[in-house]
Amino acid sequence: MAKNKFTFDDLNAELAGLNPLGSVMDQSDFSEVTEWIHTGNYHLNACLSGSLFGGWPNNRSCSIAGPSGTGKTFLTLNSVREAINMGYFVIYYDSEAAVDKDQMLKFGIDTSKVNYQPVNTVQEFRTSITSITQKMQEVKRKGGEIPKIMIILDSAGNLATAKEIEDAATGSEKADMTRSKILKSIFRIIMTPLADLKIPFLFTNHTYQTQDFISRQVAGGGTGPEYAASIVLMLNKAQLKDGAEKVGIIVTAKPDKNRFAKPHPIKFHLDFTKGMNPYVGLEQYATWDICGITRGSIEKGVKVPKATARGWICKHLDEVVPNSEFFTEKVFTKEVMEQINEHIKPLFNYNTEVDAIDNEIGELLDRELTME
C-alpha cells in the first residue's frame, strides 16, 4: 500500500542519501569550530575569537592582509608553531620563496611536520589543494583515519596565472583578467571540503590603497578571498624604537570581517630580536578591580597604588613586580587570565541577549546611519 504521508523523518532519510555531509541541525557539527589555534598573542586571540584562549578557528579560512612589512608572515609562522604543538601537520604553500628551514627553526617550528610547497600560479595551487582534500575526503568516507592538517598560503596576492607567464614569454602586453576569477573559483571549490576535514586555512594577502575620493585599504585578488574568509584581519604598522634605533614594529590589527567577534582593533608588538610577547596588550586590563594588578609599590607592608610607579602590585603574588618581569606567566597566571577574559567579553563578543537588544533599539533608530 502506498504511503500517503511524507514526514520530516522521511525527508531526512532522502537527504541523507543525497548528501552524506548533511544532517538535522541539532545533530550537526559540520560547521562547528571544535578547537582554536593560538596566534602567539592572547590579545590577538580575543580580537579574532572573542576569548584570550581562542585564536584561529580550526575549520575556516582566514586572511591576514596588509602592506609589506606589517608582520603577515611573522604571524603565520607563529601560528604554524602553535598548530604543530597542538598535533597538526602543516602544508605550507609559498608563492614568494621567502620562507626557509632556518627561519622556521628560529620560530621554534618542528620542520619535520611541515610539508613545504613552492607554488607559482593560481592553477598550480588550485590543482594541489583540490587533489589533496579530495583524497582525504575519500579516506574519511571509507572510515579511514586522517591527520590533523593546517594549510598555509603565503601569499595569495603573489600568485601569478598561467596566462600571465605565457604572455610574459611571448612579449604580449594584454591585460590578464583571469586571476581574480580563478581565485574566486578556488575558494568556491575548497570551502566545503576544508570544513568537512576540519582543516584551518590561513592565507596572507597584499593590500593597496584605492583611488576613491576617500581612499581605502583593500586586499588584492578580487572578492573571492574576501567573501570566503570567516576572518579578514587588516594590518598596519608603526616603528618601535629604542632611541634612534628601530627595534621592531607596533602592529594595529583590525578585522575587516569577523564571524566570531566584534571588529575591534588592537595593537601588539613585534620585536626584531625577541619576537612577539604573548602577554603584551593585556596591560590595559591590569587593574585591581579586574584581576588584582595595578601600578604601585609596597611601603612598610602597605600597598600604595600609583599610576607613575615603575612596578606592579600583584595581589596573587603579594609582591611588587618590576616592568622587566611584567609580561610573563608569573604575573599572568591562568587565574588572572580567566579574570581578564571574563571582563573583556562585552568588548569583543557579539551580544545576542534579548534584553540588551531591546534596550538599544530606540537608540539605534535615532542614530544617523552611514553606508560604506
- pTM score: 0.87
pLDDT in tens, 228-279: 899 999 999 999 888 888 889 999 999 999 999 999 999 988 988 888 999 9
Q: Are residues 245 and 113 in the same domain?
A: yes
Q: Are residues 144 and 162 in the same domain?
A: yes
Q: Are residues 48 and 151 in the same domain?
A: yes
210, part of any domain: yes
pLDDT in tens, 273-309: 888 999 999 999 999 999 999 999 888 777 888 888 8
Q: Are residues 338 and 233 in the same domain?
A: no
273, part of any domain: yes
Q: Are the C-beta atoms of 65 and 303 separated by less than 8 Å?
A: no
Q: Are residues 137 and 223 in the same domain?
A: yes
| Exposed / middle / buried, residue 5 (Cβ in 10 Å: 0-12, 13-18, 19+) | exposed
Single residue among 280, 298, 316 that ends a domain in this structure:
280
Q: What is the CATH number of the domain that holds 73?
A: 3.40.50.300
Question: How many domains does the chain contain in total?
Answer: 2
19, part of any domain: no
pLDDT in tens, 168-199: 888 887 777 788 888 888 989 999 999 999 99
Single residue among 223, 245, 280 that ends a domain in this structure:
280
DSSP string, 13-58: HHHHHH-TT---GGG--TT----EE--S-HHHHHHHHSSTT--EET
Q: Are residues 226 and 337 in the same domain?
A: no
Amino acid at 169: A
Q: Are residues 255 and 295 in the same domain?
A: no
36, part of any domain: yes
pLDDT in tens, 71-96: 999 999 999 999 999 999 999 999 99
Q: How many CB atoms lie within 10 A of CB 6?
A: 9
Q: Are the C-beta atoms of 261 and 50 separated by less than 8 Å?
A: yes
What share of the chain in percent tops pLDDT 70?
A: 89
Q: Are residues 256 and 324 in the same domain?
A: no
Q: Are residues 302 and 250 in the same domain?
A: no
Q: How far apart are the first and last CA of the chain?
A: 60
112, part of any domain: yes
Alpha helices in the chain (DSSP H): 8-18, 42-49, 72-85, 101-106, 122-141, 162-170, 179-196, 223-228, 288-291, 334-348, 354-366
365, part of any domain: no
Which among 356, 344, 234 has a CA at the least distance from the CA of 285?
Answer: 344
Single residue among 280, 309, 327 that ends a domain in this structure:
280
Domain holding 68, by residue range, is 30-280
262, part of any domain: yes
361, part of any domain: no
pLDDT on residue 328: 95
pLDDT in tens, 211-228: 565 556 666 666 667 788
